[in-house]
Amino acid sequence: MTTTRREYTFKPNQTEGRHGWLRLTPAYSVQLVREHLAQLPAESHVLDPFSGTGTTGLVAAECGLRCDLIDINPFLVWFARVKTASYSRADLETALAAARGIAHPDARIMSHGSAPHWVPPIRNIERWWHPKRLAYLSRLRTAILEAAPVNSPAWNLLLVAFCRMVIELSNAAFNHQSMSFKANDGQLSLFGDGDEALWSERFLRLVRDMAEEASQPLAGAVTVIQGDARHVPPPAHGTYDAVITSPPYPNRMSYIRELRPYMYWLGFLRETHEAGTLDWSAIGGTWGAATSKLLRWQPLGHPIPYSQFDALLSGIAAHSDILASYIHRYFEDIRTHLQSLFSVLRSGAKVFYVVGNSKFYDTLVPVEDIYVHLLDDAGFVNCRAEMLRKRNSKKELAEFVVSAIKR
């Protein structure tokens, strides 16, 4: 019987060295990716066109393979680069020396008396951070920006540790698929109230642990491209031998919603409207203005090659036109992606898509079946879906691996 199989979720990744640097709920399982990459010949060139936090790239590099990653979100592109980079001893020493300086009790920049610091333009910021923690994070960010050369490997490592602090000091709870807030009652999530020395110790510990993990050499080579998987660029040389990826699921989950705090603090988002614009450009995004744009969205007019697709849309439209458009647009985007992917693969290349089904009102969207039909329509052969695990939420919800071969 297929169960919820924790090993096939992002959860065990948190204790897997670099894989645990920053959590993203929809990140997929390191073990699953290892099982699939282990089947490939040593010279294989792998592509993940929806790479998120870079799980595929890091596993591929650990296995000595070449891997290209594509993601549309500039923060995730930055993070995947940092996570899969090679670090020299000097880089790590620079990061550690900077972190020690910042965490030192006499560090000038961290003192209360220093000038007021910048805070990100996040709406309702007081829901995210208690004022004391907010002021501390602001000083920490300024200290990091001054502690290492801009964009240097050390600077990047310090900023990832900063992102960890941003979440550890926040009121955000990530117990569900969509994140929620704990009451901002002055209680601190990890530390005693106001104990900034402990926070700085925690920051130093994070940088030490990351430096240790970053010192492990990676055998393979990873290239991270900021791009749109609806128009997959060809690799610099030849064609890809395999694809393993987990695209967005059509479940209204917004990556921007979860990533917002990092993106604002690190300057990847500067104004609130930018979040909606980015989510609209992503497949399956529904954050902010993306929702109202769906109201005006019109299909291209080529039917989705799945015989029950219109009935499925009508079932959803009976409750919500906007959700029906959301599902329609999602599968049009995936079709465009698969057609574009076909031309960058060698004949015989294997593709693996980890997808989740979804349910709106009483209509179950058999996402895995629709992928099988879209792959078949794009010219792939041996297209099939296999259930991977059940999800905790509703009982019909599950994840699947959809696989196919390029003819």
Ligand X SMILES: C[S@@+](CC[C@H](N)C(=O)[O-])C[C@H]1O[C@@H](n2cnc3c(N)ncnc32)[C@H](O)[C@@H]1O
What is the number of the residue whose Cβ is closest to ligand X? 52
Q: Distance (Å, rounded) from C-alpha 248 to C-alpha 336? A: 14
Nearer to ligand X, 204 or 282 (CB): 282
Give DSSP secondary structure letters for 172-232: EE-SSSS-EE---SS--SSSSTT-HHHHHHHHHHHHHHHHHHHTS--SSEEEEEE--GGGP
- Give the nearest distance from C-beta 253 to ligand X in angstroms: 8
Q: Which stretch binds ligand X (CB under 6 A): 88-96, 110-118, 162-170, 245-253?
A: 245-253
Which 3-state string (H, E, C) describes 12-76? HHHHCHHHHCCCCCCCCCHHHHHHHHCCCCCCCEEEECCCCCCHHHHHHHHCCCEEEEEECCHHH
Q: Which stretch binds ligand X (CB under 6 A): 130-138, 233-241, 246-254, 366-374?
A: 246-254
234 three-class SS: coil
Nearer to ligand X, 4 or 187 (CB): 4
Total binding residues toward ligand X, as defined by CB under 6 A: 23
**According to the binding rule CB under 6 A, does residue 230 interact with ligand X?**
yes
Nearer to ligand X, 172 or 229 (CB): 229
**Largest alpha-carbon pair distance within the chain?**
69
In contact, 337 and 232? CB cutoff 8 Å: yes
Q: Which stretch binds ligand X (CB under 6 A): 103-111, 133-141, 165-173, 223-231?
A: 223-231
389 three-class SS: strand
Q: Tell which positions 89-148 bind ligand X, by CB under 6 A.
A: none
Nearer to ligand X, 55 or 358 (CB): 55
Query: For ligand X, what does the binding mask look like between residues 331 and 370, x meaning CB under 6 A?
Result: ----------------------------------------
Q: Tell which positions 30-89 bind ligand X, by CB under 6 A.
A: 50-53, 55, 70-73, 76
Nearer to ligand X, 104 or 231 (CB): 231
Q: Distance (Å, rounded) from C-alpha 334 to C-alpha 47? A: 16
- Give the nearest distance from C-beta 26 to ligand X in angstroms: 4
Helix (H) or strand (E) holding 352: strand 345-356
Which has the closest alpha carbon to 350: 245, 244, 242? 242
- Give the nearest distance from C-beta 319 to ligand X in angstroms: 25
Nearer to ligand X, 94 or 156 (CB): 156
β-strands 45-48, 66-71 pairing: parallel
CB atoms within 10 A of CB 145: 16
Among 9, 21, 22, 27, binds ligand X (CB under 6 A): 27
Nearer to ligand X, 169 or 269 (CB): 269
Among 9, 44, 94, 246, binds ligand X (CB under 6 A): 246
- Would you state the structure tokens that stand for residue 340, as one six-digit string? 């574009």
Q: Tell which positions 250-289 bind ligand X, by CB under 6 A.
A: 255, 282-283
Q: Distance (Å, rounded) from C-alpha 350 to C-alpha 47? A: 11
- Give the nearest distance from C-beta 49 to ligand X in angstroms: 6
Which has the closest alpha carbon to 365: 334, 397, 318? 397
- Give the nearest distance from C-beta 230 to ligand X in angstroms: 5
Nearer to ligand X, 63 or 282 (CB): 282
Binding stretches for ligand X (CB under 6 A): 24, 26-28, 50-53, 55, 70-73, 76, 228-230, 246-248, 255, 282-283
